[in-house]
């Protein structure tokens, strides 16, 4: 797949394949709230500007999340993403159970608040995440 980098920093990278209607975002290391807001906002902007409907977010390096970062993600971030054409988001979570639970709680809270307007599913394997996204 011919992915094109749309955003890159020392902590986050966003690539898109317009032909496949697919975006992949990768956290490159653990990040603080400011970086999570910056990366999340960039993800929203790329989704908004491209109209891509399917995304895989690799969060395996997000091993710690502050309560402030989780709050922003479960409220503002998922609300922003819901204003785009995003239909399915596959998240690749860390293998560490505590990190996984922290990231799962973000989606659970966003769902409870009614801000998520797209499907979200968690994975530990990239290929399984892509297979789910391809079930269109």
The mean of the pLDDT values for the chain is 90
Entry pTM? 0.89
Looking at the structure of the chain, the number of domains it has is 1
* Distance separating alpha carbons of residues 111 and 114, to the nearest angstrom: 5
CATH number for 115: 3.30.750.24
Q: What is the pLDDT of residue 136?
A: 66
b/e 68-105 (16+ beta carbons within 10 angstroms → b) = ebbebbbebbbbbbeebebebbbbbbbeeeebbebbee
Q: How much of the chain exceeds pLDDT 70, in percent?
A: 98
pLDDT for 5-43, tens place per residue? 999 999 999 999 999 999 999 999 999 999 999 999 999
Mean pLDDT of 123-129: 93
CA atoms within 13 A on the CB side of 123: 19
Structural domain of 83: 4-134
């Amino acid at each position: 797949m011919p992915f094109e980098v749309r955003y890159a920093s020392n902590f986050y990278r966003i690539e898109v394949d317009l032909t496949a209607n697919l975006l992949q975002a990768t956290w490159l290391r653990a990040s603080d709230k400011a970086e999570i807001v910056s990366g999340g906002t960039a993800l929203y902007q790329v989704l908004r500007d491209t109209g891509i409907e399917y995304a895989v977010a690799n969060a395996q390096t997000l091993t710690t999340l502050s309560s402030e970062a989780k709050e922003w993600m479960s409220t503002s971030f998922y609300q922003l993403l819901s204003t785009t054409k995003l239909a399915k988001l596959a998240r690749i979570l860390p293998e560490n159970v505590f990190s996984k639970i922290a990231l799962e709680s973000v989606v659970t809270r966003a769902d409870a608040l009614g801000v998520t307007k797209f499907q979200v599913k968690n994975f530990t394997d990239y290929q399984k995440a892509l297979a789910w996204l391809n079930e269109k």
